[in-house]
């Protein structure tokens, strides 16, 4: 059996690494879901974050884990016993497109290494299921565009796992800007980083991760700058620092400082790193006030304050509120305050490509997202 573990051992991801899966005709069940109150989700990739998501979904009111996709039979059995998943809703990486014939699954949440996202999204979309893909959506913008196009052709929705877009204190901070209480945004600072451990993990394998810290943690500052300022950047500059070339091999970034400019005149200064702890801070300064969040994106409680005092929104489990909100998007057509669709994810991939170009060339790189 071809398992994800076997795939990870193959570090060259050429065109033949995974078979391209063509589009399949949508079933009537996919076009007209019979269950419009609960989003029935299959989890693809049963690693540590998948377990966190599934645990959080136990408290969801509108989303439920009903299926799994894994190349490890023992994991499938464990999840079946925990979540009461029937055999007919269990798949591996060879047969998961067979779920096109399974009306009991509405969507698949892809939580696998970054380099697998593109082909798996194309496969799931071809099977007529909505796709929720963990961020980053792909390893570059070209793959991201393929994913967006494939889902559009199949008539399914593509959502990206931006849990912070639903986190209450984050939305409270955004509301300070949209209500005018901060005035015109002038400056954003995003600090995203931690000291990564095991040097043999897939996140430090360029073929699987597409890079290093930027893909994993730096993307939070990119995305955060956009939703905090309320605009998309029009240029970027960037500089890389690498102190451990053994651990952080060619193409795997250790630390990148990057700067972005926005059409309204605001600028952002951000840090992405795998070599420093205690870096999880967003700060937005405007003509009339400021707001700061620290921690700003970690799994635990988000905290912050503005010139008006502490942020007061309630503490929630991020993945619980995320999955209930995504159920509303997929089942009811709800429109979130900050988009989580494939186009939103593609914008971040275009920016990341530009950051890597700026690092390589030492030049200011223009960005056109709109």
Q: What is the pLDDT of residues 275-314, one digit of tens each?
A: 999 999 999 999 999 999 999 999 999 999 999 999 999 9
Domain annotation for the chain: domains and CATH numbers: 4-160 (3.40.50.720), 164-314+342-366 (3.30.360.10)
Percentage of the chain with pLDDT > 90?
A: 90
Given a cut of 80, whether residue 29 has pLDDT beyond it is: no
Let me know if 363 is a catalytic residue: no
Distance CA 120, CA 108 (A): 10
pLDDT (tens digit per residue) in 108-125: 999 999 999 999 999 999
Within 10 Å of residue 277's Cβ, how many Cβ atoms? 9
The single residue of 135, 169, 206, 347 carrying the catalytic annotation is: 135
Q: What is the pLDDT of residue 370?
A: 76
Please tell me the pTM assigned to this model: 0.91
pLDDT (tens digit per residue) in 81-93: 999 999 999 999 9
In whole angstroms, how far apart are CA 300 and each of 29, 280, 312? 38, 11, 16
Given a cut of 70, whether residue 7 has pLDDT beyond it is: no
- Residue-averaged pLDDT of the chain: 92
Given a cut of 50, whether residue 148 has pLDDT beyond it is: yes
Residue 79 per-residue DSSP state: H
Distance CA 208, CA 212 (A): 10
The single residue of 109, 162, 220, 227 carrying the catalytic annotation is: 220
Positions of E strands within 211-278: 235-241, 255-261, 267-273
Let me know if 109 is a catalytic residue: no
The CA-CA-CA angle for residues 198, 8, 345, to 5°, reads: 90
Q: Given pLDDT bands bounded at 50, 70 and 90, which one contains residue 36?
A: low
């Amino acid at each position: 059996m071809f398992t994800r573990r076997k795939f990870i051992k193959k570090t060259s991801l050429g065109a033949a690494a995974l078979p391209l899966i063509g589009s399949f005709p949508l079933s009537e069940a996919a076009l007209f879901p019979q269950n419009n109150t609960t989003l029935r989700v299959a989890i693809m990739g049963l690693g540590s974050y998948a377990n966190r998501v599934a645990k959080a979904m136990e408290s969801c009111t509108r989303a439920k884990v009903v299926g799994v996709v894994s190349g490890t039979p023992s994991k499938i059995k464990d999840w079946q016993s925990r979540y009461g998943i029937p055999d007919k809703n269990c798949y591996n990486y060879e047969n998961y497109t067979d779920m096109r014939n399974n009306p009991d699954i509405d969507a698949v949440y892809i939580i696998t290494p970054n380099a697998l996202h593109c082909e798996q999204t194309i496969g799931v979309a071809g099977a007529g299921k909505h796709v929720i893909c963990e961020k980053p959506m792909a390893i570059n913008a070209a793959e991201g565009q393929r994913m967006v196009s494939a889902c559009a052709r199949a008539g399914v929705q593509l959502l990206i796992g931006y849990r912070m877009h639903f986190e209450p204190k984050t939305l409270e901070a955004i509301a300070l800007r949209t209500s005018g209480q901060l005035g015109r945004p002038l400056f954003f600072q995003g600090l995203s980083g931690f000291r990564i451990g095991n040097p043999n993990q897939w996140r430090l394998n360029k073929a699987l991760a597409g890079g290093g810290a930027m893909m994993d943690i730096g993307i939070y500052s990119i995305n955060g700058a956009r939703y905090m300022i309320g605009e998309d950047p029009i240029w970027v500059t960037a500089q890389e620092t690498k102190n451990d070339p053994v651990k952080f091999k060619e193409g795997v970034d250790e630390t990148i400082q990057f700067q972005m400019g926005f059409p309204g005149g605001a600028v952002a200064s951000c840090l992405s790193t795998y070599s420093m702890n205690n870096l999880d801070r967003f700060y937005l300064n405007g003509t009339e006030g400021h707001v700061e969040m620290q921690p700003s994106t970690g799994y635990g409680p988000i905290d912050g304050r503005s010139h008006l005092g502490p942020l007061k929104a309630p503490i929630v489990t991020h993945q619980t509120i995320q999955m209930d909100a995504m159920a509303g998007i997929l089942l009811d057509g709800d429109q979130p305050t900050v988009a989580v669709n494939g186009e939103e994810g593609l914008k971040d991939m275009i920016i990341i490509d530009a950051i890597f170009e700026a690092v390589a060339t030492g030049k200011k790189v223009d960005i056109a997202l709109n």
